Structure 1
Amino acid sequence: MPARLVALLPPLALVALVGCPEERPDAVRPPPRPPQAMLSAGAQNQPDVLTLARPTGPEWFGIYLGGRKAGWTKVQLATELRDGRNVLVGRSEMLMRVNVGGKTVERSQTEERVYEARPGGRLLSFRAVFGGDGGDRTVTGTCNTRERCTATIESPGGAHEERTLDGVTETADLADGVRLAAARRTTVRGRQIEFMKLRVRDQQDAFVRRERVAGAGVQEEVSVVEEIEIGDRMPVVYQVADDGRVVEIRYGDAIVSRPETEDRARTLDTVDLFALGRVALPRALPRTVPAAITYRIEGLPPAFDAASPRQKVARDGKAALLTVTARIPAAADPAKDTPLAKAKDGARPDDLAATAEVDSDAPTIQRLARETAGSAPGAYAAAKLLATKVYGTLEKAYGASHDRASDVLVAGKGDCTEHAVLMVALARALGIPARQVYGLVYARYSDGQDALYWHAWAQVRSAAEWIDVDPIFDQPVADATHVALGTGTQVDVVGLLGSLKVTGVEVKEGK
């Protein structure tokens, strides 16, 4: 099984977003879902997941950020005899280690997926263990039918939670979808469980071309396969040799994974995530609201040009002219603010749901939300109270990361990701549609460099519009230095790490 980098990106994205800056005085339509895993027509009499050529034993890969090694993965797929039946078992291990704000941040993750040992065999059970940054927890589950699985989450201290996952069509073919797509020169699709957020995602591995590559003085032809979650804008690109070796895995310009020996893979460099992710600016920026800022950005793919009422994008050659307009929302007028009792009317279920990460159904989250803003007259009025509460409750700290909102509340500290996930959970606990936002924000550090840094904040919905709120800066309206690149579960923005350059800014205050 190749290093399924897309399955490891949520942890990587969270590690990257941990590098959000502190506030300082001087600073700062998708294809239809397939009903089951599918192979395109004409795939008969070709290799299947059990007969694919692949290296024997575990495969080790080094993960490089900006040319420096920040982690490794170990993966293996093999048949085993369990309880008198043959099963196909996929295992992976991952470790990432980076420096964030002067602190070393480390995350580990191990996964095991057990399938029926046959082509198209269904997922039977799974186990994932997380450690380090983001908090320690274990997720185990069984799939009693082809489309429904039950998962149990266990955390230190005896915390125990169960969740049901519907619409799972994960099969043994997805266990090695990249190699299967390469061998058959086809597309493999299905709905796969992602353990970090404990959700079901539409996954696709698509053969796109053959190309010749050189390495160690030898040239060979490889198959190029693109792996993507349907709805994302940037694929993970694999190069697969005809003997089944994965030659390279690339995500954007800065993230590369290569096969290595175990000893070499485990040897890591010191990677400063702030330095790698920093996007330098030609001038200082204001934090005033209202205001509009136009950024001339090089390296931003057109796939990221989606416009919103807050952001507009135009193209000037290869550069994107991205204008962010921060203004007082209509919901600031109490007469226009959506009544809290009607906030959920017409909202998308995904923007209200309690999840393993945004556990808005947790008793502690429910209680704090009601105590803080349960009597507010409108959704935005409540959101402002919640943002201020999160700002005042959480200590601003790096290297103290927790992925679950209830764990953040217990810890009482964190960076932008913790502030954002707690804010979203509290809002959803009151029936307010809310989601996380990922992107960039302005800050200035001790070296005097004005720059944009990777950041996370929240959006809430009222008066038929999404309103950006930043609880770590205590901003009821996020200022125009907030450049949104993704929302909700859309963490493909990590593929832009190290590839963006701002060559000009134009500021219009009071707009």
Structure 2
Amino acid sequence: MPFEPRTPFVHTSHLPPPEPPMRRLSLLALLLATLPLAASAAPPEDQWFTVLLDGRKIGSFESKREVHGHEVHTTQTLQIELERNGVKVALGSSESATETLDGQPLAFASTSRLSGSETRIEGRVRDGVVELDTSTGGATQHRRMAWPEKALLPEGLRLAGLRAGLAAGTRYSALAFQPSSLDAAEITSTVGAFERVDLPGGARTLHAVEQVLAFPGAPMKTRAWIDADQTVHKLTLPMMGVELVLLACDRACATAPNQGSDVFARTLMPSPRALHVGELAGTMRYTLASPRNEATLALPDTDEQSVVVRGNERIVTIDREAHARKGEKPAPSDYKPNDWLQSDAPEIVALAKQAAGDAATPLERMRRVETFVRGYIRSKTLDVGYASALEVARKPEGDCTEHALLVAALGRALGIATRVVDGLAYAPGFAGKDQVFVPHAWAQAWVDGRWRSFDAALPGFDAGHIALGIGDGDPWRFYAGLDLLGRIELREAQSLAR
């Protein structure tokens, strides 16, 4: 299928939900759990927080801890509401854990809700092995995974903080397991001096604790304030150039009506100039920079995108045509079904056969899949949030994330390795803004010995696509790349002659 030129205006329904990165939102429960709580007295059994984004109330957070016999049960629940281009989006995340009194993991559960879509994960830990049940889009899968060595759940993290103490300058690390993404991240905490902090119940003098979460390529820094009994009263973390803040207060305060926050504009990255269809059909070179001089920011190298580090700048060269230059072959998991790309489901298999028809080569099959998905998802809407491929197969509606996941799942059903890319796509005009790069999603497939991109939400892939992250369709990993929004800017766009 030849590349089709871009339309003069990119419809909002073709682009992904511009809510803040879901992975970062889901980490709120984890962040509170990692902070040391009272050593001499039991932590609060039920603690409430109001959630603010850029100074506006967007939701609530509740943390519970209960001791039953020889077990400790913790539950942490986040409820927020955002707006994206005038559409309200409700997000919810609840995580629970069961541990022994000395912090050994026994079981965990996670429920995530986004615009009516729900994912449920349950795990039981025994002898270093986790028995997992995952439910997404009405389909349930059972599997096993190894428990990450030395990983801790909330009670284990609390005890690690108690052992470290609160002396100014104290520094300690722990490996924190997050049920929603089924992975672990090292968190390094540094205890600081006392600071005066304004809270809904009045100002208090509290210890400041800085934390660094060691995510690959872009570590996340947070700050918390705790009292002499080691109870958390305030937590902040950066998000798209502004602060997300949790403040301890009573239940009435935490559950008061939200003010609403339209974060859509913050997800758009201005282009230094207008880009034309002809140059986007070739090769482009972009200069991206971190205004905060975050030298650790990482962008992926692919067979279409090469990245050169120059100080706090990233020189990104993108060719519309893929070149087998990276030597990165597919992993076995790139061919297999997972919780979000259910390529073995009968509905997906049937659609894959219908889409591919009599195509003889993997490249032609993927081109037909791309065209098929573009027409199959008839309702182009932002209301879905993030649906799995099976959900889209059964109810064909959504934005670019739904297009990308269905393309990837159909490719795997045809025996082709695929993966899902999140990044930015150029739009001549979008939501009243001219010449901007907008958060976007597309799929890559391993054909002809290289990773080649396929974009069913737009007329096709071109050099106006900048990849920020690559995943397997899991929303928590998918949105990790979008953590870069608000932390990078585009300083130069240059067309390279072929």
| 2:59 counterpart of 1:75 | no
Change (3 A) 1:148 1:141: closer
Deviation at 1:240, TM superposition (A): 4.9
Deviation at 1:446, TM superposition (A): 4.8
Q: Secondary structure at the match of 1:282?
A: coil
Partner of 1:310: 304
Could you report, residue by residue, the CA deviation over 1:443-476 in whole angstroms, capped at 9, with x for unpaired residues?
Answer: 212524321222222222223322222110031x
Deviation at 1:101, TM superposition (A): 2.9
Partner of 1:464: 449
Asked whether the 8 Å contact 1:63–1:73 carries over to 2, the reply is: yes
Partner of 1:407: 391
Change (3 A) 1:313 1:127: closer
Partner of 2:18: 19
Distance in 1, matches of 2:444 and 2:41, equals 47
Q: Secondary structure at the match of 1:222?
A: strand
Q: What are the residue-to-residue correspondences of 1:60-459 with 2, within 5 Å?
A: 60-81=48-69, 86-115=70-99, 117-124=100-107, 126-133=108-115, 135-143=117-125, 145-153=127-135, 159-169=138-148, 173-176=152-155, 179-183=158-162, 184=164, 185-189=171-175, 192=177, 194-195=179-180, 200-208=182-190, 210-216=192-198, 219-229=205-215, 231=216, 233-241=218-226, 242-246=228-232, 247-252=234-239, 253-261=241-249, 262-266=251-255, 267-287=257-277, 288-299=280-291, 301-306=294-299, 308=301, 309-314=303-308, 318=312, 320-329=313-322, 347-373=330-356, 375-394=358-377, 395-443=379-427, 444-459=429-444
Could you report, residue by residue, the CA deviation over 1:115-169 in whole angstroms, capped at 9, with x for unpaired residues?
Answer: 2x22242323x443344415135444544553121315275xxx45232131124
Q: Which moved more, 1:378-387 or 1:301-310?
A: 301-310
Deviation at 1:271, TM superposition (A): 1.5
Residues paired across the two proteins, number? 441
Q: Secondary structure at the match of 2:275?
A: coil
Structure 1 stretches of 4+ with a deviation exceeding 6 A read 47-50
Distance in 2, matches of 1:323 and 1:136, equals 36
Partner of 1:8: none
Change (3 A) 1:215 1:49: closer
Deviation at 1:413, TM superposition (A): 0.7
Deviation at 1:330, TM superposition (A): 5.3
- One-letter amino acid matched to 1:442: Y
Asked whether the 8 Å contact 1:53–1:244 carries over to 2, the reply is: no
Which stretches in structure 1 are left out of the alignment for 5+ residues?
1-15, 21-46, 332-344
Change (3 A) 1:176 1:264: same
Asked whether the 8 Å contact 2:36–2:159 carries over to 1, the reply is: yes
Distance in 2, matches of 1:377 and 1:114, equals 52
Identity of aligned residues (%): 22
Change (3 A) 1:154 1:48: same
Which stretches in structure 2 are left out of the alignment for 5+ residues?
1-14, 20-34, 165-170, 472-476
Asked whether the 8 Å contact 1:372–1:386 carries over to 2, the reply is: yes
Q: When the two structures are superposed, what TM-score results if normalisation uses the length of structure 1?
A: 0.76
Q: Secondary structure at the match of 1:449?
A: strand
Asked whether the 8 Å contact 1:366–1:426 carries over to 2, the reply is: yes
Q: When the two structures are superposed, what TM-score results if normalisation uses the length of structure 2?
A: 0.78
Distance in 2, matches of 1:295 and 1:75, equals 43
Change (3 A) 1:112 1:219: closer
Distance in 2, matches of 1:419 and 1:456, equals 8
Deviation at 1:95, TM superposition (A): 1.6
Asked whether the 8 Å contact 1:154–1:160 carries over to 2, the reply is: yes
